[in-house]
């Protein structure tokens, strides 16, 4: 068990989970996690150091080297991971509310997307690992085939914007393919990870298979997770700057890193698009997740013939967004994660004004009664900037859309690709030929045509350029979380 309530049942005391038991930080130090809605205290959290991380690595190593997990059949692991998913589903409401309070994510999204998807991640990879095919090549007296033994100990480092969903996107394949893991959740959002650790143990996950350490980046708890030679894989989701640090840290041991990083994705709307689809999907494309989505289509390119109409409809829809307490199901945009991030987002809107942009809507912090203590920022639409402005080039990670006109297909593609990131793209057109032409030349790990955020987990997930290295999902996760081994066997001829 890692979570314990204090005298005030609303305030949680979060500790590490190491080797199946709750673990105090070696230094005894803690930090606070707060509710972005009103800055109230939600919990005090073990502030891990390198020593805590090393203990977690030792526990994961022992569970891998001597424990039952890697030796189970995929079917045996499948059964346990489904039991964990069942336990997540039977605590859906509790987990959704924890996520909403800790991250500011709106409750409808936590309840209908993040937590159900957490359970689905577990089920999908449990089934995939049990059912994936293995290629075998008989050739005369030779039989060649591939084995996929687990890689070993996995460090999983996750961000705050989709805390449990992204943690489970890493843990589910790592565990399903027989590895043991250490999860380090973002310090802003430790609550659901901690509760998940308890639910997994309750459901029968053997001790030491999943360890959780809390705290901060490279100089603190995360250090050994990226430098210890006993770690076999590092799966990281977060900012590009941190990704670069992790790749450097992992290089001396040649530890493979999967890095899912930032984005500044293009959303392209052609004049033949169905605006009844393009407008609401483009609204989701930037404002879902309170504007804090890696995928966000934060550079919105609209063909000039429809630019005035599109901008009017888009702005009207942005002004209908209900900003408020994320616990209220009527709310459609909650607060940003913390004061520092609010300052960053506000700073970018100031920059947009300095760069000559026009703030068509929003562009200010929200200080209405009931929201004044929280980190609320109005849905913001900016026009009048070029694609080469800093506002249009850098990841803001907030509810801020930059709208830019274009004339031709070629120009749209050039603008989309004129950015160092390459995570995603959104495209709205009813011309199928154009859609095919565009997606084949688009520098992006994922492209959605006339839709947004729907995903088949068998497809590769990841980014090009500064959006990351490697792909996860389906067979891509199997390749990353295993050590594929070529086996060639000579069969003796019959006598």
DSSP secondary structure code for residue 110 in this structure: I
In the bound state with ligand NAD, the residue whose beta carbon lies nearer, of 267 and 429, is: 267
Strand partners, 180: 153
In the bound state with ligand NAD, the residue whose beta carbon lies nearer, of 279 and 336, is: 336
Active site residue 409: no
Tokens of 116: 């159900």
Q: How far is the CB of 216 from ligand NAD (least distance, A)?
A: 6
Tokens of 469: 């290295």
Q: Does residue 260 bind ligand NAD (CB under 6 A)? A: yes
DSSP secondary structure code for residue 364 in this structure: S
Integer Cα distance of 468 and 473 in angstroms: 14
| Helix ranges restricted to H, 177-301 | 191-202, 222-227, 240-250, 275-287
Integer Cα distance of 176 and 126 in angstroms: 5
Which span (76-84, 160-168, 365-373, 487-495) binds ligand NAD, by CB under 6 A?
160-168
Site string for ligand NAD, 290-329 (x = CB under 6 A): ----x-----------------------------------
| Marked catalytic residue, from 99, 220, 281, 294 | 294
Q: Does residue 288 bind ligand NAD (CB under 6 A)? A: no
Q: How far is the CB of 340 from ligand NAD (least distance, A)?
A: 10
Measuring CA to CA, which residue among 102, 13, 20, 34 is closest to residue 373? 34
Which span (19-27, 34-42, 65-73, 231-239) binds ligand NAD, by CB under 6 A?
231-239
DSSP character string of 155-173: EEE--SSSHHHHHHHHHHH
Burial code (b: 16+ CB inside 10 Å, e: under 16) for 377-405 equals bbbbbbbbbebebebbbbbbbbbbbbbbb
Q: How far is the CB of 357 from ligand NAD (least distance, A)?
A: 22
Q: Which one of residues 33, 100, 161, 194 is an interface residue with ligand NAD (CB under 6 A)?
A: 161
Q: Does residue 238 bind ligand NAD (CB under 6 A)? A: yes
DSSP secondary structure code for residue 494 in this structure: P
**Residues within window 167-206 making contact with ligand NAD, judged by CB under 6 A:** 184, 186-187
Which span (104-112, 159-167, 200-208, 283-291) binds ligand NAD, by CB under 6 A?
159-167
In the bound state with ligand NAD, the residue whose beta carbon lies nearer, of 263 and 363, is: 263
In the bound state with ligand NAD, the residue whose beta carbon lies nearer, of 163 and 324, is: 163
Which span (105-113, 241-249, 313-321, 405-413) binds ligand NAD, by CB under 6 A?
241-249
Secondary structure of the chain: what % helix, strand, coil (to 5)?
Answer: 40, 20, 40
CB-CB contact of 267 with 392 (8 Å): no
In angstroms, the Cα distances linking 178 to 42, 329, 467 are: 34, 39, 28
Which span (260-268, 323-331, 448-456, 484-492) binds ligand NAD, by CB under 6 A?
260-268
Strand partners, 383: 358, 403
Q: Does residue 30 bind ligand NAD (CB under 6 A)? A: no
Q: How far is the CB of 29 from ligand NAD (least distance, A)?
A: 16
In the bound state with ligand NAD, the residue whose beta carbon lies nearer, of 123 and 214, is: 214
Q: How far is the CB of 249 from ligand NAD (least distance, A)?
A: 6
CB-CB contact of 452 with 285 (8 Å): yes
Active site residue 260: yes
Burial code (b: 16+ CB inside 10 Å, e: under 16) for 171-190 equals bbbbbbbbbbbbbbbbbbbb
CB-CB contact of 385 with 404 (8 Å): yes
**C-alpha angle 110/159/44, rounded to 5°?**
80
Q: How far is the CB of 462 from ligand NAD (least distance, A)?
A: 7
Q: How far is the CB of 209 from ligand NAD (least distance, A)?
A: 20
Q: Which one of residues 397, 428, 448, 481 is an interface residue with ligand NAD (CB under 6 A)?
A: 397
**What's the gap between Cα 15 and its chain centre?**
23
**Residues within window 442-481 making contact with ligand NAD, judged by CB under 6 A:** 463, 468
In the bound state with ligand NAD, the residue whose beta carbon lies nearer, of 150 and 224, is: 224
Residues that bind ligand NAD (CB under 6 A): 157-161, 166, 184, 186-187, 216-218, 222, 226, 237-239, 242, 245-246, 260-263, 294, 395, 397, 423, 463, 468
Catalytic residues: 260, 294
């Amino acid at each position: 068990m890692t979570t314990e309530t204090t005298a005030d049942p609303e305030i949680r005391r979060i500790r590490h989970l190491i080797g199946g038991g709750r673990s105090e930080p070696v230094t005894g130090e803690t930090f606070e996690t707060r509710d972005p809605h009103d800055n109230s205290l939600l919990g005090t959290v073990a502030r891990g150091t390198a020593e805590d991380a090393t203990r977690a690595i030792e526990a994961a190593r022992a569970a891998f080297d001597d424990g039952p997990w890697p030796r189970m059949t995929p079917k045996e692991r499948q059964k346990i991971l489904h039991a964990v998913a069942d336990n997540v589903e039977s605590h859906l409401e509790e987990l959704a509310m924890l996520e909403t309070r800790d991250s500011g994510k709106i409750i409808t999204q936590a309840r209908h997307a993040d937590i159900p998807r957490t359970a689905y991640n577990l089920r999908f990879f449990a089934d995939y690992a049990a059912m994936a095919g293995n290629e075998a090549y008989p050739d005369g007296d030779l039989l060649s085939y591939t084995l996929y033994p687990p890689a070993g100990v996995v460090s999983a480092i996750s961000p705050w914007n989709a805390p449990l969903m992204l943690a489970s996107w890493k843990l589910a394949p790592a565990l399903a393919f027989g590895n043991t893991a250490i999860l380090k959740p973002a310090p802003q959002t430790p609550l659901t990870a901690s509760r998940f650790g308890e639910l997994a143990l309750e459901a029968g996950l053997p001790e030491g298979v999943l360890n959780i350490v809390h705290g901060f980046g490279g100089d603190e708890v995360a250090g050994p997770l990226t430098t210890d030679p006993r770690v076999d894989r590092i799966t990281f989701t977060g900012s590009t700057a941190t990704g670069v640090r992790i790749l450097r840290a992992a290089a001396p041991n040649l530890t493979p890193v999967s890095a899912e990083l930032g984005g500044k994705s293009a959303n392209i709307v052609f004049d033949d698009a169905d605006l009844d689809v393009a407008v609401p999907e483009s609204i989701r494309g930037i404002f879902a997740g309170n504007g804090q989505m890696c995928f966000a289509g934060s550079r919105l390119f609209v063909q000039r013939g429809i630019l005035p109409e599109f901008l009017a409809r888009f702005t009207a829809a942005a002004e209908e967004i209900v900003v408020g307490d994320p616990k209220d199901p009527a709310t459609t945009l909650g607060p940003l994660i913390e004061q520092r991030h609010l300052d960053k987002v506000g700073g970018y809107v100031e920059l947009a004004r300095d760069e000559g942009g026009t703030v068509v809507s929003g562009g200010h912090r929200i200080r209405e009664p009931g929201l004044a203590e929280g980190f609320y920022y109005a849905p913001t639409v900016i026009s009048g900037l070029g694609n080469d402005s800093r506002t249009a080039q850098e990841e803001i990670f907030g509810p801020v859309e930059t709208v830019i006109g274009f004339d031709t297909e070629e120009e749209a593609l050039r603008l989309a690709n004129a950015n160092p990131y390459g995570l995603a793209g959104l495209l709205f057109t009813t011309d199928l030929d154009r859609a095919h032409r565009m997606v084949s030349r688009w520098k992006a790990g994922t492209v959605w045509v006339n839709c947004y955020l729907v995903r088949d987990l068998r497809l590769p997930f990841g980014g090009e350029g500064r959006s990351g290295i490697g792909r996860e999902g389906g067979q891509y996760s199997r390749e990353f979380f295993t050590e594929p081994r070529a086996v060639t066997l000579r069969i003796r001829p019959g006598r």
